[in-house]
Amino acid sequence: MVPLATHSFLLSAAVWPVLTGAIDSRSPFRGPQAVNLWKLQRQQSSVQSTASRAPALLIQSPGNIQPVSAELQTDVASSANFPVYTFEQPLDHFFNTTNATFGQRYWVSTRHYVPNSGAPVIVIDGGETSGEDRLPYLDTGIADILAKATGGVGVVLEHRYYGESVGVEDFTTDNLRWLNNEQALEDSAVFMQNVKFEGIEEDLTAPNTPWIYYGGSYAGARAAHMKILYPKTVWGSIASSAVTHAALTNWEYMDVIRTYADPVCSANLVHSIATVDTLIKIPIIKDRLKGLFNLSGLASDQDFVSVLESPLGSWQSKNWDPAVGSTAFDDFCAQLNGNTSSLADTRKTIPFFGTHSVNIALLSYASYIRNNIVSQCQLPATVEDCFGTQNDTSYQVADLSQTWRLWTFQYCTQWGYLTTSPPNPKKYPPIISRLLDLDYEHKICVQAFPPGEFFTVPRLPDVHSVNVLGNFDIAADRLAFVDGEVDPWRPDTPHSQYYAKNRTDTTLRPFKLIPGAVHHWDENGLADPSAEPPEIAQIHAEEVAFVKTWLADFHAGKSKRTD
C-alpha cells in the first residue's frame, strides 16, 4: 500500500456527476455518435473551465449540460476529505503476457470503525469511471450508511484503466487487451485478500474479516460476479441495478422510457419519430427535414437520427435527491409538449413541403436539438465535423486523454448493449429511429479498434463470457439484488420485466425493487437520513438489516470453526 500523502480529494454528493471523461454504462449510448458528443462536451468543458467568465464546472449527461453553481463549488470545498492510496496490481494476473504493474487507487473511511470488534469492510466498486466519482457514497451514501450501522471500514476501489489506475502508455487495441471482466475481478479479490490499511493494526483481509461488496450498474454486475467467483473472499454482495445480462442489442432501454415517461411526452416522441422515419425516405424532403434541426449539412441519414436520440439518455439521470439528479428529461418533455398536457395541441400540424405536414411536437423537438445539441458545434467546425461518423481516423487517436475508448472497448469486446430500435414496432412503438440498427451502432468497434499485433477485437461482443456467470438467474446466499422499478437498465438485470423469473425476497437472498426508482437509487444518501424520502429510507433500513444478519451468521460460523 502506497499512500499518496500529497493528494486528497474533496467531493460533494451534489456534484458527483461532474464530467470525468468516461463514457460509462449509465449512458445508453453506444456507437460513434456517442464519441462525437463526448468530444463536443469535453471541448465545451475545457473552454468553460479556462475562460475568465466561466461560472463553474459542468455537470454533463448525454445531450445535457448544466453549469454547477458557485454555491455547489463551495460545497465541494467543505465536504469530507478522504486520502487516496495505491495498491500494486499486475496488469496480467493469468497469462504472463507482461510483467507490468499499476497502482490501483483506493480511498478509506474509518470514521465509524470500531477496532477489534469483528466489524466488516464495506467496499464500493468504482466501476467504469474515476473512483473519485464514487466518493460521495463513502461520505453520505451506502458505504457510510452500512459502516455506521456496523462499526466497519468504508472503501472505494477504483477499476483498472479508469481514473488514475492506469498501467499502459496509451489506449491502443493492444494496450487495452487487459481491460476485461476477468482481470478486473481478480484485482478486487487480490486487493481484499492482501490490503493493509494505514493506521489500522488488526488484519482486515478476507476471508478472516467479513467483506461486503457493493456495486451499481456495471459495478453491480461485478458485485454479483465477485460473490459467484470468490465466495470465500466475499462474504456478502449488494448488486444494485446490476446488468448481469450482457446483450448485443439493447432496444428495451428505450422501451422502458416510452412506457414510464409522461404519457403525452411518450406519445409525442413516438409520433415525432414516426414522422421523421417517413419523411427521411423522401429525397426531395429529407434535407429540409434536417434543416429544421440545423443539421442540413449532415450527409448520413443515420448520423442525423442518432443525434435526435441524445436527449433521451437523461432519463436515467433522474434521482430522488435534486442535488444529485437531473431534470433534463423533464425539461425536454416540457418543451416537446409545448408546456401543455393536451396531446391534441401537440398533434396539430402545419404544412411542411407540398402535400406533407409536420406536427407541432416535432417542431418543438427540432428547437430543442438546435438549442441544446447542435449549438455545441462551433465555427469553424461544420455539422459534418461535429456529428458525422464516416471518418474512421477520427476515432483512432489513442492517447491517455481519450478515455471514451475504455468503456467502448469493454462493450465492443464483452458487454454489447448496442441501442437499436425495437424489432417489433407494432408491439413496441419506437422512440428512436428505425434506421438505428446493429450495423450502425457497432461500427465504432471496427473504426476505433483496428487489429493490433497481439489482440483483435471480436467480430461481435462476446456476451457469453458475461452471461455464463449466471445471466438473469444468477443467485447465491448473501447476494442481494436491488433495482429500480422504472430503471431503463432493469431489462438487463435479474428484475427484468421482459425476460427474468420472479423471485422470493428473503434475508439470505434479498430481492428488492424500489418503487418509482431509476438507476441504483440506493447508492446515494443524505447527511441527515431523516430527510430521505420514505422509499429510500426504507431500502437503506432493509440493507442495514440484512447486512447485520449476514454479519451475525459470519461470527456465529467463525465461533463454531474455532471451537
Cell of 409: 472497448
CA 357 to chain centre: 39
Among this protein's residues, is 217 annotated catalytic?
yes
d(CA 49, CA 73): 13
d(CA 496, CA 242): 11
Number of separate helices (H) and strands (E) present in the chain: 18, 15
The contacts of residue 280 (CB under 8 Å, 6+ apart) are 286, 289, 301, 304, 305, 433, 435
C-alpha torsion 24→25→30→35, nearest 10: -10
Name the β-bridge partners of 137: none
The contacts of residue 439 (CB under 8 Å, 6+ apart) are none
Residue among 25, 27, 165, 217 flagged as catalytic = 217
Single-letter code of the amino acid located at 424: N
Q: Of 243, 263, 232, 272, which is closest to residue 484 (Cα–Cα)?
A: 243
The sheet carrying 101-109 orders its strands as 2-10, 81-90, 101-109, 153-157, 121-125, 211-216, 236-240, 479-484, 511-514
Residue among 24, 75, 187, 487 flagged as catalytic = 487
- 128-to-3, 179, 253, 261, 290 alpha-carbon distances in Å: 23, 11, 19, 27, 34
Cell of 116: 477489534
- List residues with catalytic annotation: 217, 487
